[in-house]
Structure 1
Amino acid sequence: MARVVNAQSEALPQALAEAVQRLRAGTLVGLPTETVYGLAADADQPAAVARVYAAKGRPADHPLIVHIAAEPATARAEALAHYAATVPAFAQRLMAAFWPGPLTVILPRRPGVAEAAAAGQASIGLRCPAHPVAQALLRACSAAGIRALAAPSANRFGRISPTRAEHVLAELEPVLDDDTLLVLDAGPCPVGIESTIVDATREHPVLLRPGMITRAQLQAVAGVPVGERDAAAPRASGTLASHYAPRARVRLMSADELQAALDLLGGQAQSIAVYHRSPLHTVSPHVRLQRMPDDAATCARELFAVLRALDDADTRLIWVERPPEDAAWDGVRDRLQRAAA
């Protein structure tokens, strides 16, 4: 069974104290961040990290992102020094500009630390989240001797990421047996899709996963070109071809293709949901039309919740209008392409 604690109330200090106690004991905590809810464990406890992999059904060679506190500055510096063997100058500039925030930086890992969280790779992904509850927990953990939290999205591997506490329960309660999961509920995640991931293990940065921080923003801060993912890139979270997928089959289509398909099926269309920006119409009462926001940030904020709601409505097919091609939509487009793979 899982227990949800309101993390927006006066009960937060007590909830944080309980969360720290559980994390020190090697158990797991559902953690709100600005991107999605994470399933957190002490990054330096291999047995606790193994429980994250088991709960998610995540392959053992798929690394986790490690979250560190922003304050006090000494704690952040110590965490960086503990996990990273080196921090290139361009990575330091990216951290200074985008931390706390939805940016993960992959750095060379110090030998002998966080091997389980890094899935045995010589690199490690570090993030400093901006969510106030996440930072409150990370500060409390730091004060209790826990340097950082390994916290992938709190869902079964490959499924839709959770952006609300109830999504965490729906995903993980069925697989936790007799374990009690504490979930800190801070309401909907304000960003809604996972962090931008940049590989900083080479001489120049490489974008491994797009998010709401664009390539142009990264290049402006890094001061050097940001390359494309290639065969030399380390394994990173959320970069498999198929990911973020509902049970229903997702298909990306243009507005014209969507309308043509609806016209062709006519009143025979059943168990279909359409997530669209352009005006569409259907004569079938069994087609659910869901409007997509016109701006990328609002769409990202609601994307996973919408996909989950459509999937829970006995839908067999989810047709989605392709997002615009401009850079602001790169993160949303990436998630939809993987959901449809």
Structure 2
Amino acid sequence: MPTDRMQRNVERHHDRLRGAIKEQLPQIIGGEDIITAPDGKRIRIPVRYLDEPRFIPAAPTQSRPTVQGIGKGSPGIGHKDPEIEVELTIEELSELLFDDLKLPRLKPKAHEDELVDTQIEGITTRGPRGRLHLKRSVIEHLKHGGSWREEDLRYKDVRTNLREVTKAVVVFVRDASASMDELKRYRVRAAAFWALRWLKKQYQNCQPVFILHDTKAEEVDEKTFLKATVMGGTMLSSGVLLASQVLSERFPSGQYNRYVLHFSDGDNWASDDAVFVKAVKDLHDAVEMYAFCQVSPIHFGREAAAGSLIAKLGDEFPRVTAGHIWRNEEVSKWLQQTFGGEA
């Protein structure tokens, strides 16, 4: 039927459109307009124009006059595929991203009971007037046909049930030393933005905590975490130790799934390396994941050592992971590697 064919064409176009957007996901999700957009706002995303392929007869071969003055870089030379703009909400873009990365659903271990919203579960003969069920009351009245009686009245039976609710806390730790310039901070911002959205899809209750450190660490609000820089050195252990303290004091392991995501350019005081490694080892059994993310390939012209130290720990401590974001386009790859998506 024509209607079926039209529906198939629409579905095929939507599939092609999704494919075109997914091709650009690494570039799209690193864009500042995405990261700073409020929830619910529709984001305009340029994608290549998806025209249906058509066969067009070739024009007869004929000689063309020579045009003077046309050379490299002149108007009319070269080609750029036409583009259209597609509007998506952050939530819709998230669905595309997580589907494309094939991130697995996490298996929460902790839970507790929580009251759900009240629900109507039948009819009762007693209740407040505000829950009077008019239709059922009229039916009862019509059964005997006499005057209204109190026993004719029927009420909505509203009950509350307990359900299992999973909870999580994700502690974002960021190196705020002098070497963490604006570009590195932006990579942290993009990674934290998408990691938090992913974890919130897995847990009904997911609470973020933000920690900054140079040689000392402190808990801060989200805005300070994303923007602040201090002119100090780097002791990575300070951030891990404070994260461990916050978790033990406020988020018991029996009630929360606990994640620590640590971002740095990888440079660390040599005297702190052993302390840093020990702090990560001590944290291992208390969390679902400790992930170290290096946001710069080199520091002051040499390879940073911290990422290598954590990578070596991963063989013995499976909840410890090390990754990197050296370009803005690598945020999606880091998400995939950190949370166990398919390659």
- Whether TM-score is above 0.5 comes out as no
TM-score using structure 2 length: 0.23
Higher helix proportion? 2
More relative contact order, 1 or 2 (CA 8 Å, 6+ apart): 1
Q: Which has more radius of gyration? A: 2
